[in-house]
Structure 1
Amino acid sequence: MADFTSGFWDLFITVLSIAGVIGCALLLYMQSSEKLEPGQKASDTGHTWDEDLSELNTPMPRWWIWLFYITIVFGLAYFFLYPGLGSYPGKLGWKSTGQYDEEVKAAHASYDPLFERYKAMDLKAVAADPQARAIGERLFLTYCAQCHGSDARGNKGFPNLTDKDWLYGGAPETIKQTIMTGRNGVMPSMAAAVGGDEDVANVANYVLSLSNTSHDPVKAELGKSKFGACMACHGADGKGNQAIGAPNLTDKTWLYAGNVETISEGIRKGRNNVMPAWGDFLGEGKVHVLAAYVWSLSNNPAEASAADAKPAEAAAPAADAAASAASAAPAK
């Protein structure tokens, strides 16, 4: 890599750039040196097509020539003002990173107050806000759709976010934590613990039997005892453990596929799924709105907000009655 960061390449680019502009100027000068006097005909190049169509050596119009000269002057001025000649920073000191930083700063000044307002709200309330949900959808389509799909229904190895099946839990705060800090779900290779290929297939059939999915009953019975190696994560009943992201094997929701071949592959080779952390990149305000949107994909925000409001409404009359009783009680 040192060869590509030495001073030679700065000099090479500088010489090549300036030589290109000067070469264009010399070519333009040579091509524009010939002029036609009034009434003078252009010389014939000797090329003829269709028997009578001759190619003439006609000089370019003067306005066209001056337009090219102006372009060359503009190019030289650009090299002087902006970075274009190796490591020369340009007289104005402009940088693309500097412009980007200014644009980001302006964006933060414009949008941060909005995200701060949403961050102070409960996640369910944010999900019930139409504007916040629209913002969350845009964030999702920009940063999450590549893995989970534009419809959020996931893909092989990427969870469906529109159902209520969650590896770590579907509470709004849990979803926010997942987006903020990421997840790393590891299924270790269990081939050695389970046994040979035949035992792996038997366990795979037993796993399918837990959700009443099509399987071989005989092999499932043989694999039941071998499933003991999997209980530490998935539990004796196979219902998983959300604390460590171990999936529930008793439903019909599969991250990869619900068949003997795919399950056997997971037992033999293991799985390693990574959900990247977005907290540092997006900031907590945007993650808050995004988490509310993701939660709304499998829940009804309006119903949730109404349900949360009922206990508060019921508590209000009791609080008023208590206050009245307190005011009426004689002082001791």
Structure 2
Amino acid sequence: MTPGWSWYVIALVVINIVGCGWLLWWTAKRRPGDPKPEDTSHYWDDGDITEYNKPLPKWWINLFWITIFFSVAYLLWFPGMGAFAGYGKWTSGKEHDFAQQADNARLEETFAPYRGKSIDVLAANPDARRLGRSIFNNTCATCHGSSAKGAIGYPNLTDDIWHWGGSPDRILQTVLDGREGVMPEWGKVLTGMGGPYAVGDVAAYVRALPDPAHRMQNNFGAARGKQLFENVCAGCHGKDGKGNPELGAPDLTDDYWMYGDDSASLQATIANGRKGSMPAHRALLGETRARLVAAYVWSLSHPEPAVAGAQR
């Protein structure tokens, strides 16, 4: 707050307090010539109702004075007059930090039994899964949905397809440190190599990869796209299109398409690229809560018998 605005606020506060005190003093005192409290001569109806001019009781007026004195003391102790911080040095930031520390202490007590345990062990614990689901709903459901089935551009976490690897350790690493998935723009490169239909040809070949024995038959666009794919795309996705979890390059043979499986969506991905970002949650959640949410996510694609088998 600038000094000018600070003095402006202080002036408003002082004027209001002084004004309230003056108004209370001015209206409470009696002056020579004032009529008696019972002598206003204002009558209603048949004369049974008379308006008096009696002053407020002393105890009531004293309560007003106490309120004014309290407001002055309050403004001296707490910030309220411009840039003056108050003698108590109270701030909302300190109050927030204090409450946060108390909440974190309670959370640490709740999460202590799960600290350092492996993901598959936590996934087999119903209480751990319940806590993980709560953390997921508060933190992850915004992107992946409350059912964890994802949406266009956000992966489905309930299947067995993992672009960055689906082992417990890889899932935990994803939650803690995040991921940055980048699909470069290949439109100009492919057009320069194969002409104006090159992007469409590569899209046709990619759509044929889940079942090449049938989908490549009499598919001349896919046949042309095969050579372009091997020259440009195989560096990340592999010559067979199986992908590379180390790079986050998806397997193109599983018939799962995060950005849509229609021809227009695939061509847009190839020509314009994609950029997906999974934020790091280490600082937000801490390792124990990250382990719990990772265990819950891992359990979604591993039914309880499989979870129990993973522990043996």
Q: Give the TM-score category using the shorter length.
A: 0.7 to 0.9
Residue 251 of structure 1 corresponds to: 254
Q: Which of 1, 10, 13 is the equivalent residue of 1:14?
A: 10
* 1:166 counterpart residue number: 162
Q: Is the 8 A contact 2:39 2:52 kept in 1?
A: no
Alignment of 1:14-163 (within 5 A): 14-22=10-18, 37-38=37-38, 40=40, 62=56, 72-163=68-159
* Structure 1: runs of 5 or more not aligned: 44-56, 310-332
1:192 corresponds to which residue?
188
Q: How far is the alpha carbon of 1:11 from its aligned partner? A: 2.5
User: Which has the higher mean CA deviation after the structures are superposed, 69-78 or 185-194?
Assistant: 69-78
1:259/1:197 Cα in 2 relative to 1: closer, same or farther (>3 Å)?
farther
Partner of 1:295: 298
Judged with a 3 Å threshold, the aligned counterparts in structure 2 of structure 1 residues 30 and 230 are, in CA distance, closer, same or farther, namely farther
1:33 to partner: Cα distance: 8.3
Using the TM superposition, give the Cα deviation of residue 144 of structure 1 relative to its aligned residue in structure 2, in angstroms: 0.9
TM-score by length of 1: 0.76
Report the alpha carbon displacement of residue 159 of structure 1 after superposing the two structures with TM: 0.9
Q: Which residue of 2 aligns with 1:285?
A: 288
Deviations 1:142-191 (A, max 9, x none): 11111111111112111111111111111111111011111100111111
What's the CA shift for 1:119? 2.1
Instruction: Mark the CA change 1:77 to 1:177 in structure 2 (over 3 Å): closer, same or farther.
Output: same
Between 61-70 and 185-194, report the one with greater CA deviation.
61-70
Indicate how the Cα distance of structure 1 residues 126 and 302 shifts in structure 2: closer, same or farther if over 3 A, else same. farther
Question: Residues 42, 245 of structure 1: CA spacing in aligned structure 2 closer, same or farther, 3 A cutoff?
Answer: farther
Instruction: Tell me the matched-pair count.
Output: 292
Post-superposition offset of 1:27: 6.6
- Correspondence for 2:179: 183
Q: Is the 8 A contact 1:194 1:227 kept in 2?
A: no
Are the structure 2 counterparts of residues 303 and 239 from structure 1 closer, same or farther at C-alpha, using a change threshold of 3 Å? closer
What is the aligned-residue identity percentage?
Answer: 37
The alignment status of 1:225 with 2:227, answered yes or no, reads yes
Aligned mates of 1:119, 1:69 — CA distance in 2: 57
CA distance in 1, matches of 2:52, 2:122: 72
Normalising by the residue count of structure 2, what TM-score does the alignment of the two structures yield? 0.80
Amino acid at match of 2:197: E
The one-character-per-residue Cα deviations of 1:194-246 (angstroms, maximum 9, x if unpaired) are: 11542112211221122359999332222222212111011111111111100
> Would the aligned equivalents of 1:241 and 1:248 in 2 still touch at CA under 8 Å?
yes
Higher relative contact order (CA 8 A, sep 6+): 2
Residue segments in structure 2 that go unaligned for 5+ positions in a row: 44-50
Offset of residue 109 of structure 1? 2.6
Q: Letter of the aligned partner of 2:250 in structure 1?
A: P
Q: CA RMSD in A?
A: 3.3
Task: Decide whether aligned partners of structure 1 residues 59 and 231 sit closer, same or farther in structure 2, where only a CA change above 3 A counts.
Answer: farther
CA contact (8 A) 1:205 1:219 kept: yes
